[in-house]
Amino acid sequence: MYRKFAGLMVLLAGALVGACGEDATEPSPQRTVAVRFGTAATSAGGVSAAVVPAFGSAALDEVLVTGTNGTLSITDIRFIVEEFELKRADVDCDTAANEDACEKIEAPPSFVDLPLGPGAVTAASAQVETGSFEEIEFEVDDVEVDADDSAEEQAQTQALLATIRQTFPDWPGKASMIVIGSFTPTGGTARNFRVYFRAEIEIEREFEPPLVIDQTNRNLTIEVVPENWFKQPDGTVLDLSQFDFATTAQLVEFELEMDEGFEQKIDVD
C-alpha cells in the first residue's frame, strides 16, 4: 500500500541559556545537546487542527484534524528515530577530510512516543564540542538486525524491537511508525484505526542564524504538526480507517515533500 504525504511542518526550537565566547587558544569543551520531540497545532488551507489536552487520569491527549469530509481524532503517534547529526558552520561535511568535524549525536535508535499535548520527550542526547552549527539532520526509519553491525548494535536493535513489541505485538519488521485513532465522516459514525507506516524519512533543517553552543547545554525541540501529514490539497483529510492494519495487514509507505511546509524558530531563554 502506497500513500504520498506532502507538506510536513517541523518547528525547531532551541532552549538556550546564557551566551559567552570561548578562548580560541584552549581546547573546545563539550556540552550536552538533547533532541526532543513535541506537537504543535496549526490551521491552513481550509483544514483545521487542534491539540486537545487531557483532564483527569483517564483522559487521553488527542489531535483533531477536521476537513470537508470529516474529522480525524488521533490519540497515539509513535515512530523510530535512527540517528541525528549536527553540521558545523563553514565546514563541508560531505568531504572525507572534514567528516570528523560534523557532530553525530551518537545514540541507539529510539522509539518516540510523541506527546500530543503540552511538553516534549527526549529522543537522544550526547556530548558535543562547542561551536557554531548551521544544520540538523535526523532520520526516521525501520530497524533490522544487520550482520554487518557490531555485536553491541545488534543487541541494541534486538532490545528496541523487543520493547516495541511488548506494547505492539503485531509490529511488522519493516514498520517505523504507528498512528492510532478514529475517523468520523461528516454525518457518520466514528471508525477506529491502527495504521503502521513504512516511513523512510531524512529531514534536514538549517539554523538561521547558526546555532551557537557555548557555555550551556542545549535542548533542540522538533515540533511536529500532524495536520500537515494527513490533510489533502482538496480540503479533505485522509481517512486512515481505510488502512487499518487489523483489516488490511498492509503497511502504508510514507513519502514527504521536504521543500515546503517547514518553519524554524530559535527561542532564547
DSSP bridge partners of 206: 135
Backbone phi, psi, residue 93, to 5°: -75, -10
Q: Does pLDDT of 67 surpass 80?
A: yes
Q: Does pLDDT of 177 surpass 50?
A: yes
Q: Does pLDDT of 97 surpass 70?
A: no
- Closest by CA to 66, choosing from 181, 222, 196, is 181
Whole-number pLDDT of residue 269: 27
**Kind plus residue range of the DSSP H or E element containing 131:** strand 131-140
The domain spans of the chain are 2-18+29-53+61-257
pLDDT tens, residue by residue, 195-237: 999 887 777 778 878 888 888 888 888 888 888 888 888 999 9
Better-predicted residue by pLDDT, 44 or 90 = 90
Whole-number pLDDT of residue 55: 38
Better-predicted residue by pLDDT, 227 or 20 = 227
**Please, which contacts does 53-60 make with residues 24 or more away whose CB atoms are closer than 8 Å?**
53/117, 53/118, 54/117, 60/116
Q: Does pLDDT of 246 surpass 90?
A: yes
Cell of 185: 465522516
The mean pLDDT of the chain is 76
CA dist 35 → 70, 123, 166, 245 (Å): 34, 6, 25, 30
Whole-number pLDDT of residue 79: 93
Please compute the mean of the pLDDT values over residues 111-133 and round it to a whole number: 87
Whole-number pLDDT of residue 239: 95
Whole-number pLDDT of residue 264: 37
DSSP bridge partners of 68: none
Instruction: Report percent pLDDT > 90 for the chain.
Output: 29
Query: How many whole angstroms separate alpha carbon 152 and alpha carbon 164?
Result: 18
